[in-house]
Amino acid sequence: MENIIQLVPGKWVAESVLIAITGMKKNTIKAARDQSWMEGREYKHVAADGQPRDNSMCFYDWKAIEKWIERQPAAIPRRKSA
């Protein structure tokens, strides 16, 4: 019999977990981080020495990001070509 382990993510998750939870793509996450999200609210740079820099690993508040997704307006319909 195979053991199954179910994990519940904490508040702050790595990008790989954010992708698994939301289905977002890496490029979408990067674009949202650059254009929409606020550091300290939806994401944080984290470093082992406690002094993160712009290129440090990011952790994401997946619940805040879910709220951001819910606030997105409906898509504008595209014209269909014949």
Which domains are seen in the chain, by residue range?
Answer: 12-68 (1.10.1660.60)
**Is the pLDDT assigned to residue 7 strictly greater than 90?**
no
For the segment 39-56, what is each residue's pLDDT rounded down to a tens digit? 999 999 999 999 999 889
**For residue 50, what is the DSSP state?**
S
82 pLDDT more than 70: no
* Region 48-70 average pLDDT: 94
Work out the pLDDT band at 21, boundaries 50, 70, 90.
Answer: very high
Q: What is the pLDDT of residue 81?
A: 73
Is the model's pLDDT at 27 over the cut of 90? yes
Q: Quote the radius of gyration of the chain (alpha carbons, Å).
A: 16
Nearest-5° Cα angle at 18, 17 to 21? 85
The residue type found at 72 is Q
Quote the percentage of the chain above a pLDDT of 90.
74
57 and 12 in contact (C-beta within 8 Å)? no
